[in-house]
Amino acid sequence: MPATIGMLRQLLDAGELAPVGGTAFALTPALRESYTSGTTEELEYAALTDAARASLRLLGVDTEGENVEDKEPPRRVVVSADVDDVTLRPDLDDSAVKLSGPIAMAAVAAIHVDAPEAESAVRAAAAVIDDADLGDEDAELALGDVEDHELAWYAPQELPFLLELM
């Protein structure tokens, strides 16, 4: 599920996370068919990358009209969870799914977050993500720059400590 640091705080406080619009990303049959080869792990990574791009969109929404001092750190966030009740959404993307409701903390398998050194690349990519979708080459380069940064992996029980360090 694409998320933001603020959404991670909500997950910790409420014990569940409701993805925006119920949208998440998974290894779907359509995603598997779109690749000529690849292990399950490689295809799951492709879905994770799609979720990380969607996180950029959430950051673009979060940054509109707020004071710089009040904002959370600009980091891509992806929450990986074990969920069975999903609806495929191939009309959106090969890996897109819709969740039926919030995801409980107990279902969270891992949390992926950018390191601090990715913040400037994240900020730049969040500002141009829509332009990249429309084929703007400079915007696509900005997305490439942010995707050069690997997301760090955290176990669910590390969430309080991760947020304390933000």
> 12 lies in which domain range?
2-155
Residue 140 lies in a domain: yes
Residue 161 lies in a domain: no
Query: What pLDDT score was predicted for residue 138?
Result: 92
Going from the first residue of the chain to its last (166 residues), give the mean pLDDT of each consecutive group of 10, the final group possibly shorter: 95 95 92 88 93 92 46 92 89 92 95 96 93 91 94 97 92
Give 50's DSSP letter. H
Residue 34 lies in a domain: yes
- Distance of CA 130 to CAs 50, 106, 138, 154, 159, Å? 14, 34, 12, 29, 30
Residue 134 lies in a domain: yes
64 three-state secondary structure: coil
Query: What pLDDT score was predicted for residue 67?
Result: 38
Query: What pLDDT score was predicted for residue 166?
Result: 84
Q: Is the dihedral of CA 137, 138, 140, 145 positive or negative?
A: positive
The DSSP result for 122-149, as a single string, is HHHHHHHHHHHHTT-HHHHHHHHHHHTS
How many domains is the chain built from? 1
Residue 109 lies in a domain: yes
